[in-house]
Amino acid sequence: MSRPPVARESVLDAFEAILIDRGERFATMDATAKAAGVSKGGLLYHFGSKQALADGLLARLDELVREDIAQIERAKEGVVAHFLRTSTTGDTPVDRAIVAATRLAQGGDPTANAALRGIREQWATLIRPHVRDALALDLVMLVSDGLYYNAALDGSGVAGPVPQGEELDALIALVKRAAQD
Amino acid sequence: MSRPPVARESVLDAFEAILIDRGERFATMDATAKAAGVSKGGLLYHFGSKQALADGLLARLDELVREDIAQIERAKEGVVAHFLRTSTTGDTPVDRAIVAATRLAQGGDPTANAALRGIREQWATLIRPHVRDALALDLVMLVSDGLYYNAALDGSGVAGPVPQGEELDALIALVKRAAQD
DNA sequence: GTCTATATACAGATAGAC
DNA sequence: GTCTATCTGTATATAGAC
């Protein structure tokens, strides 16, 4: 699992940033190359097509989710609480990748859609043993989905109408009470 | 408030359908005109620009939401329950308009984004008197957001990983128990 | 009101120099 | 490995006939 070149990563960073900050329509190869500080030709050396660029983003997303899931499993405050807390409170690499993938999916990229569905399934598998039943799982997943939905609507950095800090703590407690015994 | 011409409405229907079924990238004026059974020139008589087309969709959304809110207020099973039940269980005109607007928003249209934020605020105002406190409101809104998020990911007609039928009834009961006294 | 034809701009992608 | 130049397709928009 050798680390890819720096230029490649900064192209992905730029692509992701435009998706988040401006939306799918503005995430062109031209704009991405410019934001990454390379020429179009340079970008196309690393990613031979727009789809390859999207695939690169989704591959990185997959890896970040893998790490994220490992972290949630080890969380001291419990799996459910940590899962909800990291459902886009902050501006972490996973969160950014997920919002960017959401934008791609909504633009009409079926691979982005499938990736997000797969991630949600992984999360559900992770949470299932820690809640009372299927209904409780639905509740936890939907609250998490709701947090991501608001993050996707607001782009990065902007504080949405979603609980944070102590309010988020209280929400987590409320959901846990409803979802666990 | 005179009813707009039939052709105008069918153009909006077509635009909405493409947004939902294929995504923002595919919702071009050409594709919309074709799907609506008019020529590009015909479309442009009714909507002079892409933005005007989007504005038309959002204006219709606003009206549908107004009707939707009036219905929720009158719901026999209670405001919270009816609100959650209509958070995209089905394939109603409001739901379709919301998913289409979500796609526009994720593509990078700021007016679609603002419209969705406004609608969410209207809903919150509607729900607020019917729940225990601000925390309970957060819970109800986030579950609703989560349902819409899944609807947006799945497009129209496809059954997502989201509760339906009796499972949905149980979820609504669970949320009500957690959110009301 | 609806059409065809066309102008303009930009997206994605290729060729080939350095 | 990164660049410039360019080709091709297509999206938005205009002009003007019917």
- Chain B interface includes A41 (CB < 8 A): no
Q: In the CATH scheme, what is the code of domain A6-179?
A: 1.10.357.10
In percent, the amount of chain A with pLDDT more than 70 equals 97
| Element at B36 (helix H, strand E) | helix B29-36
Convert the pLDDT of each residue in A117-140 to its tens digit.
999 999 999 999 999 999 999 999
Contacts of B150 in chain A (CB under 8 A): 142, 145
Q: What is the pLDDT of residue B90?
A: 78
Bases of chain C below 7 A from a protein C-beta are: 1-6, 10-17
Cα torsion A29, A35, A36, A42: sign: positive
Whether B49 and B104 have beta carbons less than 8 Å apart is answered as: no
Task: Give the distance from CA A85 to its chain's centroid.
Answer: 13
CA distance A67 to B52: 44
Query: Residue A71 pLDDT more than 80?
Result: yes
CA B85 remoteness from chain centre = 13
Residue B1, pLDDT score: 52
For B85-94, how does the pLDDT look when each residue is reduced to its tens digit (9 = 90+)?
A: 999 877 899 9
Minimal CA separation from A54 to chain B, in Å:
14
Among residues A65, A54, A48, A6, which one has the least CA distance to residue A27? A54
Output the pLDDT for position A157.
67
Contact A106/B at CB under 8 A: yes
| A141 CA, C12 C1': Å apart | 38
State the smallest CA–CA distance between residue A2 and chain B in angstroms. Answer: 33
Judge whether residue A175 has pLDDT over 90: yes
Q: What pLDDT score does B131 carry? A: 98
| Dihedral sign (CA B1, B4, B10, B16) | negative
pLDDT at position B2 is: 57
Mean pLDDT by 10 residues, chain B (181 residues): 79 98 98 97 97 98 98 97 91 96 98 98 98 98 98 83 95 97 77
Please report the pLDDT score of residue A158 as a whole number: 72
Q: Which residues contact A50 (CB under 8 A, 6 or more apart)?
A: A29
Residue A1 has pLDDT above 60, yes or no: no
Which of the two residues, A6 and A103, has the higher pLDDT score?
A103
Is B63 at the interface with chain A, CB within 8 A?
no
Contact B103 A106 (CB under 8 A): yes
What are the residue boundaries of the structural domains of chain A, listed by start?
6-179
CA–CA gap between residue B158 and residue B169 (Å, rounded): 20
Question: What pLDDT score was predicted for residue A65?
Answer: 98
Is the entire prediction scored with pTM above 0.85? yes
Structure tokens at A127: 């949470």
Tokens representing B90 are 């089905």
**Alpha carbon A70 to chain centroid distance?**
15
